[in-house]
Structure 1
Amino acid sequence: MVLFIHRYSGNMPLNTALTISSSYLLSAITMIYAQHLTVGLPDPTTDLLYPGVLLFAIGIAGNFYNHYLLSQLRKGGDDDTGYKIPKDGLFEFVTCPHYLFEITGFFGFAMISQTVYALAMAFGTAAYLVSRSFATRRWYESKFEEFPASIKALVPYIL
């Protein structure tokens, strides 16, 4: 999704792109395998399918919308590579709302599959993206003197 809407300030090295793609592919394969291992086991006592689908949909939609907002920062074309502070949507409150929605989507997926592996993936992804959001906020503070102190890293008003 991000590939189709972003205008990057530079090129991503091939080894970085392959590492990220391989990580997602391996995660998808292992989640499918973990789901396959549950065939024949009793169903969980609480069915979280529908709330999980709702949470997953919110996560995907929010992630897409916030990546779209980021893509609009560089309307000037390929030669517009200057950094800007995003202003719309949840960017008024947090530096990385796209990470917040990505975490939401992963927990929605964990609720849909109801496997320990999917839940572990959701927690692992959350831990990684929380640390990335704090690093992003520090970067904004270092690059922009006028960066508002009220903007949090990931969760509005809290974190």
Structure 2
Amino acid sequence: MAIPMVLEIVFPPSLVLIAASVLRICGNFYHHCILSKLRTKGGKEYKIPKGGLFEGYVTRKWYMSKFEDLPKEVKAVIPYVF
């Protein structure tokens, strides 16, 4: 099925893909910055990242095994499943 000509003029598929890629790259860079600020130079300890998608989408089971003082409001990706 072909894309109607009007949609191609308003939202060219390549432009939509480029915008989505730029958004993804910016989000990735933001989360890398958060992670880079966690450890001091040469530090080896685990720390819980805060901010961005780290606030709600974490693997709760892993965090619970590493941190005894994990806040109760941290939820799993798929509650009761993963």
Q: TM-score by structure 2 length? A: 0.66
Give distance in 1, aligned partners of 2:2 and 2:51: 42
Matches within 5 A, 1:3-82: 45-46=2-3, 47-74=12-39, 76-78=40-42, 80-82=43-45
**Larger relative contact order (CA 8 Å, sep ≥ 6):** 1
Alignment root-mean-square deviation, CA:
2.5
Identify the residue that residue 143 of structure 1 maps to in structure 2: 66
Q: CA deviation at 1:153?
A: 4.5
**Structure 1 residues 71 and 49 mapped into 2: Cα distance closer, same or farther (>3 Å)?**
same
Q: TM-score by structure 1 length? A: 0.38
| Identical columns (%) | 42
**One-letter code aligned to 2:66:** K
**Structure 1 residues 154 and 72 mapped into 2: Cα distance closer, same or farther (>3 Å)?**
farther
* Unpaired stretches in structure 1, ≥5 consecutive residues: 1-43, 96-135
Structure with higher helix content: 1
Larger radius of gyration: 2
In the alignment of these two chains, the number of paired residues is 71
**One-letter code aligned to 1:139:** W
Q: CA deviation at 1:48?
A: 2.3
